[in-house]
A and B are shown apart, each in its own frame.
Chain A
Amino acid sequence: MDKPASESQRLAADIGLENAAPEVLEQLPLAAATARKHKSALKTFALVPGDEPAVVFSAERSGAK
């Protein structure tokens, strides 16, 4: 197996798509690189443990109008 193919196979295994079709496999390296780029833009070091997500679960009072 050549090098690019093995890289794609490793990425496919990482995301649980071991049996991915060839057209999917060949797109995985760029998809992974794009994901890394997006993540690198996020300054998560500024977060403290108490910083809640923007979308959180909240209970609704039963029968509330």
Chain B
Amino acid sequence: MKDLAYLGVADAVPLLREKKLSPVEYTNALIARIEKHDPSLNAFLRFTPEIAMKDAQTAEAEIMRGEWRGPFHGVPYGLKDIVDYAGLPTTAHSRILIDNVAKSDAFVTQRLRAGGGVFMGKLSTHEFALGGPCFDLPWPPARNPWNREHFCGGSSSGSGAATAAGFLPAAIGTDTGGSIRNPATMCGVVGMKPTYGLVSRSGVVPLAFSLDHVGPLTRGVRDNALMLDVIAGHDPQDPGSVKSESSGFASGIDSGIKGLRIGVLRHFYNKDMVADPEVVAGIEAAVQVLEKEGAKVREINTFSLQEYLGCNRIILTSEAYAIHEAWLRDKPEDYGDRTRQRLLTGAFMKAADYINANRVRRKLSQSFNALFADVDVIITASAMDLPCRIDDDEQVEYTYGRQARAPFNVTGGPAMSVPVGFSKSGLPLGMQLVGKPFSEAVLYRTAYAYEQAVNWGDTHPGFE
């Protein structure tokens, strides 16, 4: 059996089901690891070992009685602290919501609890899923397990750090301009932003209603698909929720990619922005691996990256400002400096700016989704740069906008970050796989074929 710290969901589930692994033993091992190592990583904002043990004992009793709940039974998980868990505060890592105790579970929490998951706690986030690493908040920012002096990405920073560090096999994050995929890239794990509406946003503190997505972060591709199976589904409480049940994201995952049509969107990272050479080398090497696995690769083009980013930022800051205006007026000192700075951008957007960005959004989405007539999967960069030092304010600001993730919050289809190795300095590199709406299973199949060919998953951070 693998070290329990790095046991993935797909490896753990058969062991749990066949009673070869006790949920209590599994949970205890992770609790001990978190207690020992999280003080230096700050992945958890609120660690809840007492709830975890209760969940694990319940799962163990059920499994022993033969009451199998499905592919998340007895599996530990964490929630980004903008996701409600009844009876616990949902703080959004902010002084503003420090006493905001959730009255009920978010939809995704309901799903994970009903599936028999073991809740380990609430995970660090950038303030209100926007702010960036801040040292002027009630809790410190999460750090990168590959080098704790470096930024671990965000805003689902604790979700990325906790999975990479072997604290959890799976975590929930959210993504409005790239906030699942950024920590996935920076921490060397797998992060999926599913199609808009596939996973309910109810019970999740909003950042920007029309761009917010909820999704899984895991170390392995199959693990990610299994978690998405549990959390996807229609929710009448979310007006954007898709009215159909979706599952089976892991089925056919190992059927290979022979003949799959891949489009490489290079101008995002070699012309519109110029990525770090090590980032580019990682992506190009991955494309070669996929070609060797049988994919047909060609280069494709779309509108400039800046146009997509501008569209995302106008909509994001406008919707976020609408949510935060009263707090910014009444208690601006309660925000971290960086969060307040970013939120205030929305104050300078006129109604016409917001509406025109939404008109451009329709054109960008239609044009981008039309590319899928000729390709099945698009590959591009996630981050343009390696994770910078967490205390280097200038680099944090410089790298913040140097990304190619936000376009796919605009277009709404699935996009995932997959690890593609390491820089010379030992920091993770990632690529992004993008699909047409509701093509998550194709992305997982592609990512899995790559993962099986390269096996980065057996390399773990050495922070211990």
Say whether A47 contacts B345, CB under 8 Å.
no
How big is the B interface, by class? 20 to 34
A42/B314 contact (C-beta < 8 A), A23-B333, A47-B360 known: yes
A47 to B358, CA, bound (A): 11
Q: Which chain A residues in 23-58 approach chain B with CB under 8 Å?
A: 23-24, 27-28, 30-32, 34-36, 38-44, 46-47, 51-55
Say whether B355 contacts A20, CB under 8 Å.
no
Chain A proximity of B38: nearest CB distance (Å):
32
Say whether A47 contacts B348, CB under 8 Å.
no
Supply 6 further A-B pairs (C-beta < 8 A) apart from A36-B348, A38-B314, A53-B358: A31-B347, A31-B348, A35-B349, A42-B356, A43-B307, A47-B359
Q: Which of A14, A21, A40, A42 sits near B360, CB closer than 8 Å?
A: A42
B353 at the interface (CB under 8 A from A): yes
A59 to B51, CA, bound (A): 44
Q: What mask results when residues 5 to 17 of chain A are scored 1 for a CB within 8 Å of chain B, else 0?
A: 0000001001101
Q: Which chain B residues in 278-321 approach chain A with CB under 8 Å?
A: 306-307, 309-311, 313-314, 317
Chain A proximity of B393: nearest CB distance (Å):
13
- A30 neighbours in B (Cβ, 8 Å): 341
A38 to B347, CA, bound (A): 13
- A28 neighbours in B (Cβ, 8 Å): 344, 347
B57 at the interface (CB under 8 A from A): no
Chain A proximity of B373: nearest CB distance (Å):
20
A20/B345 contact (C-beta < 8 A), A38-B317, A47-B360, A55-B210 known: no
Q: Which B residue's beta carbon lies closest to that of A34? A: B345
Q: Which of B328, B346, B347, B353 sits near A39, CB closer than 8 Å?
A: B353
Q: What mask results when residues 382 to 425 of chain B are scored 1 for a CB within 8 Å of chain A, else 0?
A: 00000000000000000000000000000000000000000000
Say whether B333 contacts A21, CB under 8 Å.
yes
Chain A proximity of B137: nearest CB distance (Å):
15
Q: Give the segment of B85-93, B215-223, B361-369 that binds chain A.
A: B361-369
Say whether A21 contacts B358, CB under 8 Å.
no
Say whether B345 contacts A41, CB under 8 Å.
no
Q: Which A residue's beta carbon lies closest to that of B412? A: A54
Say whether A20 contacts B332, CB under 8 Å.
yes
Say whether A39 contacts B314, CB under 8 Å.
yes
A34 to B400, CA, bound (A): 13
Say whether B311 contacts A42, CB under 8 Å.
yes
- B192 neighbours in A (Cβ, 8 Å): none
Q: What mask results when residues 104 to 145 of chain B are scored 1 for a CB within 8 Å of chain A, else 0?
A: 000000000000000000000000000000000000000000
A15 to B343, CA, bound (A): 13
Say whether B307 contacts A35, CB under 8 Å.
no
Shortest beta-carbon contacts, A-B, top 10: A41-B310, A53-B358, A35-B348, A31-B344, A54-B361, A54-B362, A15-B347, A38-B313, A41-B306, A34-B345
A55/B347 contact (C-beta < 8 A), A27-B341, A39-B310, A43-B307 known: no
Chain A proximity of B183: nearest CB distance (Å):
23
The interface size of chain A toward B, counting residues with CB under 8 Å, comes to 31
B148 at the interface (CB under 8 A from A): no
B340 at the interface (CB under 8 A from A): yes
- B349 neighbours in A (Cβ, 8 Å): 35, 39
Say whether A27 contacts B313, CB under 8 Å.
no
B65 at the interface (CB under 8 A from A): no
A35 to B345, CA, bound (A): 5
Chain B proximity of A16: nearest CB distance (Å):
8
Chain A proximity of B20: nearest CB distance (Å):
46
Chain A proximity of B322: nearest CB distance (Å):
13
A42 to B356, CA, bound (A): 9
A17 to B307, CA, bound (A): 30
A52 to B355, CA, bound (A): 9
Say whether A24 contacts B314, CB under 8 Å.
no
A35 to B314, CA, bound (A): 8
Say whether B333 contacts A15, CB under 8 Å.
no
A19 to B132, CA, bound (A): 27
A32 to B348, CA, bound (A): 6
Chain A proximity of B242: nearest CB distance (Å):
15
Q: Which chain B residues in 186-220 approach chain A with CB under 8 Å?
A: 210
- A35 neighbours in B (Cβ, 8 Å): 317, 345-349
- A20 neighbours in B (Cβ, 8 Å): 329, 332
Interchain residue pairs with CB less than 8 A apart (6): A31-B348, A38-B313, A41-B307, A44-B360, A53-B359, A55-B358
B30 at the interface (CB under 8 A from A): no
A58 to B333, CA, bound (A): 40
A11 to B359, CA, bound (A): 27
B56 at the interface (CB under 8 A from A): no
- A43 neighbours in B (Cβ, 8 Å): 307, 360
Say whether B210 contacts A42, CB under 8 Å.
no
Q: Which B residue's beta carbon lies closest to that of A43? A: B307
